[in-house]
Amino acid sequence: MLSFTAKLYGIFLKFQQRYNLYNLTQSALHGHDVDPFGITSRHEEPTAASNPSFHDGVATKDIHIDPFSSLCVRIFLPDTVVNSNLTTTTTKENGGLGYGGYAPSTGKRHKKLPVMLQFHGGAFVGGSNDSVGNDAFCRRIAKLCDVIVVAVGYRLAPESRYPAAFEDGLKVLNWLGKQANLAECGQWTGNGRRKMDSHVFDGFGLAEPWLAAHGDPSRCVLLGVSCGANIADYVARKAVEAGKLLDPVKVVAQVLMYPFFIGSNPMNSEIKLANSYFYDKSTCMLAWKLFLPEEEFNLDHPAANPLIPGRQPPLKFMPPTLTVVAEQDWMRDRAIAYSEELRKVKIDAPVLDYKDAVHEFATLNMFLDTPEAQACAEDIAIWVKKYISLRGHEFSY
């Protein structure tokens, strides 16, 4: 059972969400919501600063990757990529100036890790990749899974409505491929021989050093939280459609944590738990109205309902999909039904169902220290590691 404190906080959170959504709705009605550049966070949400030196086993950095929008990423690099006595290398030691964080050493072999693209929650209108809660969650996942986490700061609604957030997710996947190709191009000298240090910087200085030295995009996992799960599923579908055009990036699995699914024909939990704690159905409806353009508003929109017929590509081509659901979440049944459809076509699609849990029980800041949140992250790591095993080569030049 939920504790009294959790229930009280849930009531407070509901009022806060409704107040914020009301303000955003008023802004949209007065035409103040249109912003081509977009925003990726809101000032009222506390954020965690990045730290390019290893702290508590993880180093982080922020990168703005699109000159035409606010799209950005935060990279979480676990310290397993280096020896314990080399966890912090300043730029001065690597020929640079004024940078005090970790920089991969040149002329050395580097450990390669899988890359996980993470999409935060927030009902498309809030949250951020650098929020206190998301930063702590990504650090936990980076360490438990031993992966490089790339947390995506996609554009929020209503300033940037559908399909902005979905396009941003796909853009980051393509950016990851570009980074890999830049690093690969830089690995060769004019006489066709490999250079030991060129996987860190290409000839134009464009390759992101941490990903170039330590990232293995052929073992890419998508992880989405709440509405971020909708984005992850969209990116997975586009990756399937792209096929070898994405090489060397390969999406090997995805994790959907309490997806933000909905539909016009309500399922049992959408009726029975409509007034559930933390995120009730009426509040989420307000968010959908802010996210979808008015002329496209439909609860069976492809962004909202994964069960509509005719969605492409066919489910049999989808990657292995782990779904996390909570017992007290009104969105649970549609997520379970989607998982069942994947299993019908022989996709590995297990469901982790957590008793007495609420929406975002493993990612909301106030719950991160609970045993349930820790157990959920550990369960995810166990499943993910099945699909990112090294298959015999841990190091590469």
pLDDT tens string, the chain, 397 residues long: the values are: 566 666 666 666 776 777 677 788 887 765 656 677 999 999 889 999 999 999 999 999 999 999 999 999 999 999 999 854 444 444 444 444 445 689 887 767 788 999 999 999 999 999 999 999 999 999 999 999 999 999 999 999 999 999 999 999 999 999 999 998 888 776 644 444 455 444 444 333 468 999 999 999 999 999 999 999 999 999 999 999 999 999 999 999 999 999 999 999 999 999 999 988 778 999 999 999 999 998 999 999 999 999 999 889 999 999 999 999 999 999 999 999 999 999 999 999 999 999 999 999 999 999 999 999 999 999 999 999 999 985 433 333 3
Residue 315 included in any domain: yes
From the list 128, 329, 333, 339, the catalytic residue is 329
333 is a catalytic site residue? no
Residue 98 included in any domain: no
32 is a catalytic site residue? no
pLDDT score recorded for residue 393 = 36
Tally of domains within the chain? 1
From the list 70, 198, 226, 276, the catalytic residue is 226
Host domain of residue 237: 4-27+35-81+109-187+213-388
Residue 234 included in any domain: yes
396 is a catalytic site residue? no
pLDDT score recorded for residue 94 = 45
pLDDT score recorded for residue 169 = 98
Residue 302 included in any domain: yes
pLDDT score recorded for residue 8 = 67
pLDDT score recorded for residue 99 = 53
Whether the pTM exceeds 0.85: the reply is: yes
Residue 393 included in any domain: no
Residue 95 included in any domain: no
Instruction: Please report, for the domain that includes residue 248, its CATH number.
Output: 3.40.50.1820
Residue 357 included in any domain: yes
Residue 222 included in any domain: yes
- SS3 track for the chain: CCCHHHHHHHHHHHHHHHHHHHHHHHHHHCCCCCCCCCCCCCCCCCECCCCCCCECCEEEEEEECCCCCCCEEEEEEEHHHCCHHHCCCCHHHHCCCCCCCCCCCCCCCEECEEEEEEECCCCCCCCCCCEHHHHHHHHHHHHHHCCEEEEEECCCCCCCCCCHHHHHHHHHHHHHHHHHHHHHHCCECCCCCECCCCCCCCCCCCCCHHHHHHEEEEEEEEEEECHHHHHHHHHHHHHHHHHHHHCCCCEEEEEEECCCCCCCCCCHHHHHCCCCCCCCHHHHHHHHHHHCCHHHCCCCCCCCCCCCCCCCCCHHHCCCEEEEEECCCCCHHHHHHHHHHHHHCCCCCCEEEECCCCCCCCCCHHHCCCHHHHHHHHHHHHHHCCCCCCCCCCEEC
